[in-house]
Amino acid sequence: MPVEPGSVLFIQFARSPVEGKVKTRMIPALGARGACQLHCDLVRWTSGILVNAGLGPVQLAVAGNTLHPLVQQCRDMGIAEVVPQSGTGLGERMFTALDEALERFERVILVGSDCPGLDDAYLAQAVDSLQQASVVLGPAEDGGYVLIGARQVSREMFAAIDWGSSQVYAQTLARLQDIGCDWLSLPAQVDIDRPEDMVHWESLRDSTV
């Protein structure tokens, strides 16, 4: 299928919710059920942000059960398509999702479901950055990243990365430098992964009530 000039796809990565398997670092504070509920709340929140931004269609890439009611709720919010994640590790799954999407879209931006601070302006900045660079990254304050956008990708970008560690962002920049890929970085954001992050989530959530 030919690429549509100027077209942008947003991909939201999410897990289908299983108590005890999602938001595990939150379980000591919230319990398995509370951590799972937080996961669901953040997935829905992120879908709403991406859809309402109106910057391009949104694909929900799911690890696990693509027929879970949470996935249907995201469809009802305006998600354009739901696909299963494909690959044996996070890096391979991200590469595959971006690579396949770039066969159809000029620019692709992939986000997780853990960063409720994403907003229209931040997403628009990511889109605009891909007119200047091949890759854009949105770093997380914990050393990972909350967003990666690309006009082109390679497997090497996701190789030898200690996923889930505080070195993910730094290691990714090193990989981009090694392969000669140009990039831009956005301001850092907060991921909701640890009990101490809850104050940030609660502030954002309560400000919309």
User: Which residue shows structure tokens 């392969």?
Assistant: 179
Q: Is the dihedral of CA 74, 75, 77, 80 positive or negative?
A: positive
List domains and CATH numbers for the chain: 7-201 (3.90.550.10)
Cα(38)–Cα(55) distance, integer angstroms: 26
Looking at residue 1, its pLDDT comes to 47
Q: Residue 20 pLDDT > 70, yes or no?
A: yes
Looking at residue 5, its pLDDT comes to 54
Cα(43)–Cα(52) distance, integer angstroms: 14
Looking at residue 208, its pLDDT comes to 74
| Token pair of 177 as six digits | 């430098």
Average pLDDT over residues 64-92: 97
Helices 198-207 and 27-53: crossing angle in degrees, nearest 10, is 40
Looking at residue 206, its pLDDT comes to 86
Looking at residue 6, its pLDDT comes to 59
DSSP state of 112: -
User: Which of the four pLDDT bands, split at 50, 70 and 90, describes residue 4?
Assistant: low
Share of the chain above pLDDT 70, in %: 97
